[in-house]
Chains A and B, each alone.
Chain A
């Protein structure tokens, strides 16, 4: 095509012709840039009257080649002159966008400050919840029953299949591995103790907590976060609806109620998996297993497990809602906060679990 951008050096002047547009220049950019650089030396006469088109990208290129001054003589169409003038009107010194440099102590300090601010924010949110609860006790008509039940259904009922599947597999695995060891000691019957204590007291609650943090916690953060991005939270406030009562409280209460039930369900399925594996591996009958379970595993273990479920549910929902409410209106912050919510929730759950272990060390462990 004759429209290709080209440049000739004639004696005394440089002649440009063709369409100098970004799209036409791209395939032969290096060549054109080199040509311009070579033509600039000592040539102060430019003839641009044969240009068919000139866009601002090409104008910037020319202006740079002219080292930001008008050539001594320039022949150019009026319309094209306007384009070059617009480039010339720009301030010459363009401050480069600042590049943030982070030093290690600064990084650590900022991290710690952020963690402290998050802790404070979560305590404040907790306080707000208590105030809301008092408000609702005085105005029972405002209790958001629909949102509450919807959350129990979403976080609880819909999580039943996945928690059952994971619980069952874990039960089978633990039972199978323990049975191999116990068999070599001839201590087959202790499989009931091992499975009972470990699953009911420890594994059930923690397993459910990890699953729920990944499943419902992230969903809560993302939902509240998107409501912030799309200003739905603000729309709620303008209608005089409290976001903490209508959005946050039902989520936290819903998960707090649903978690112990999920723990009960998952522990039961995991025990069942363990029983099946014991039956196949050790020939231990289901009847024997069930008869001995209450004897060797005191019922307080079940209470501890359910108590953990209750606290874990609360912690996960509180962390998720906190991070959701602190999403800034952009996608980057949304993804960062969802990640933070899940990581923080799981870490906190493990921490709380350790605290539980310390304070309940005297309770529910049978002394033979």
Chain B
């Protein structure tokens, strides 16, 4: 069975003023892959995710999701595409005026098709998935710890049962135990639902535990994209610097 292409970036260029972030960047992610996106701090990983989400329009090049060009003028096409993806922002981006429960229920209510009991069960299910209890639902985002913000944001990203999940540093700020749970949770969801995941991470354990493929962003481009073992053989200053002596750990 030939796998469908989920994300296709073609010749993407991004500039902020005189600062070039991406130059002629290509990437193609197939259905069911878990891609770890690596790159130095400030190399433009978050910007790349924002472009995949359509929050930032590249200066040149095309972004296609599920085969649809993000510049498609039809608002309904755009909305349906966005419902098929979930994003975990680097800093959570929870709605600060809504409680944890309402944050997760919000996208579900927006569908206007589900009844309250269904939504309630789904919200508690998602909370349980990320290791939070019913009591946490009442808290406001300002009352959460940094790691809890991450987990609530993940629960919200999962609320609509997305086919494509974008994660920006999902395990930064979690203790090792929670990171392990997180890795298991995403892995399980991926096997059950055939999710496609693109995650930015600097954590080798997360990468080793989860990623099927690795993309390396350096010199304004994706310099390498392939399975973990393929990446290990690459000879580039960033790769050698990043993995250092830990190279073997990934295999």
Contact = CB atoms under 8 A, between A and B. Distances in A.
Given A26-B113, A97-B101, A60 B192 contact: no
A328 interface: yes
Interface stretch (A8-16, A49-57, A248-256, A282-290): A49-57
A128 B121 CA distance: 50
A55 to B, nearest CB: 4
Contact of A56 (B97, B111, B122): B122
B66 to A, nearest CB: 11
Contacts of B140: 330
Contacts of A368: none
Contact of A331 (B96, B126, B163, B188): B96
A103 B189 CA distance: 47
A23 B83 contact: yes
A229 interface: yes
Nearest to B138: A97
Contacts of B141: 330
Interface string A59-97: 011011000000000000001101100110111001111
Contacts of A91: 124, 134
A301 B85 CA distance: 67
Contacts of B122: 56-57, 60
Interface in A87-121: 87, 89-91, 94-97
A110 to B, nearest CB: 19
A221 B94 CA distance: 23
Contacts of B124: 90-91, 94
A45 interface: no
B194 A90 contact: no
B117 interface: yes
B73 to A, nearest CB: 22
Contacts of B232: none
A79 B193 CA distance: 9
Contact of A22 (B97, B142, B161): B161
Interface of B: 83-84, 95-97, 101, 111, 113-114, 116-118, 120-122, 124-126, 128-129, 134, 137-138, 140-142, 160-161, 163, 188, 191-194
Interface of A: 21-23, 26, 29, 53-57, 60-61, 63-64, 79-80, 82-83, 86-87, 89-91, 94-97, 229, 328-333
